[in-house]
Amino acid sequence: MVSAEPDGKLVGLAASDWTVSDDRLTWRFTVRAGLRFHDGTPVTAVDLIAAVERGRAGGETLRAVPITHMAAEGDTIVIRTATPFAPLPAFLSDSTAIVLAPASFGPDGKARAWIGIGPYRMTAQDGDRTIDVIASDTAAPRPNITRARYIAAPQGETRAAMAEAGDLAYTLLPAAAARITASGRATVISMTIPRARVMPLNVGLPIFADVRVRQAISLGIDRAGIATAILRHPGSAATQLLPPILADWHNPALPPLSYDLARARTLLAEAGWAPGAGGVLHKDGVPFRFTLLVPAIRPELPPMAAAIQAQLKPLGIEVEIRTGPSSGVPQAHRDGTFQAGLIGRTYVNVPDPIGTILPD
């Protein structure tokens, strides 16, 4: 229904415009005039409501919106919320609320075809790796690029090879970017995006229950070293949850996080951890050892995990790295096996970081 320009300004897609009542509880979104699905059928307010309902059922972002009522009034969608919720238009850009034609769904309500709106129409899909699209006859103006293929390539080296072959490729390792540039066959464009690499800990576990232990782990991580050696971007060392590019949310007055092994050892000792066999800390006969789950799809995360493993070892903390699919972290949450993880959190699910923070 809604999208965003590169500067974050919200613009209408299926919804051409919107208003909110004086009490900030009732929103009215207008269906764009003359809008048609790729099968030629007109897009209605009922179709947009169905898209929002599917988004609320299948995605974490829209579930955070306190919607109490949705109804179609002609070419207008009326949405009411229990409390004022200013970022609602931004939330309606979430990909789970994609607008699909009624003909996309079978009698069981499940999607069996992908009949959408917009400049491109999907013509083929090969599993979960390849999608072919062509410019839609309903698009106005018609795109200059009339045909494209999207390929999901989880391995960084595969993406680098694609770039060297002349394809557009995203999320490249710094070393690969340098090689591609040196080849002279492609141009690498580097842009700052609102992403943080985060190491969540299961504070329900005895080893992480004491805040002094968590502070010691933080003090034992050399963020500046990791940013310089692995990310090749010294200025990206984090000092708080949200990066400076999110200027309305980043607080430059907060004291920076520091790297201080001496202070870390003091805190661990105060928390009752003492050196044991093999240099590993022990408390009440339990070694300070945990498993760090690392999604392999982010090329920078495994080497960052190896750096954290090496940096915590002098403190007497033993880290086992376990790489796997991105689903491994939420799955471990669900089955109760989660101890720690290393994830890349990008605040672009919707063009407002609160859309990522609320579900988290």
Q: For the segment 50-106, what is each residue's pLDDT rounded down to a tens digit?
A: 999 999 998 888 999 999 999 999 999 999 999 999 999 999 999 889 999 999 999
CB burial string 214-242: b at 16+ within 10 A, e below: bebbbbbbbbbebbeebbeeeebbbeebb
Beta bridge partners of 160: none
Which pLDDT does position 319 carry in this prediction? Answer: 98
Which pLDDT does position 309 carry in this prediction? Answer: 98
Q: How far apart are CA 95 and CA 352, in angstroms?
A: 14
One-letter amino acid for residue 279 of the chain: G
Question: Under CATH, what is the fold of the domain 2-104?
Answer: Dipeptide-binding Protein; domain 1 (3.90.76)
Give me the sign of the Cα torsion angle 351, 357, 358, 360: positive
Place of tokens 């003492």: 274
Which pLDDT does position 284 carry in this prediction? Answer: 93
Dig out the tokens for 324 from the structure.
Answer: 């796997």
Q: Which residues of the chain have pLDDT under 50?
A: none
Cα Rg, the chain, nearest whole Å: 24
3 state DSSP class of 126: strand
Neighbouring CB atoms inside 10 A of 109's CB total 7
Dig out the tokens for 120 from the structure.
Answer: 């491109």
C-beta separation of 280 from 274 below 8 A: no
Which pLDDT does position 183 carry in this prediction? Answer: 83
Which pLDDT does position 218 carry in this prediction? Answer: 97
Domain boundaries, the chain: 2-104, 118-152, 155-191, 195-357
C-beta separation of 169 from 159 below 8 A: yes
C-beta separation of 273 from 267 below 8 A: no
Which pLDDT does position 358 carry in this prediction? Answer: 84
Q: How far apart are CA 347 and CA 356, in angstroms?
A: 6
Cβ neighbours of residue 82 under 8 Å, at least 6 residues apart? 25, 66, 67, 68
CB burial string 282-305: b at 16+ within 10 A, e below: bbeeebbebebbbbebbbbbbebb
3 state DSSP class of 264: helix
Q: How far apart are CA 337 and CA 350, in angstroms?
A: 30
Which pLDDT does position 173 carry in this prediction? Answer: 79
C-beta separation of 340 from 291 below 8 A: yes
Strands of the 318-324 sheet, one edge to the other? 318-324, 289-295, 340-341
- Range 195-357 classified under CATH 3.30.365.10: no
Q: How far apart are CA 14 and CA 117, in angstroms?
A: 8
Neighbouring CB atoms inside 10 A of 69's CB total 11
Cβ neighbours of residue 330 under 8 Å, at least 6 residues apart? none
3 state DSSP class of 357: helix
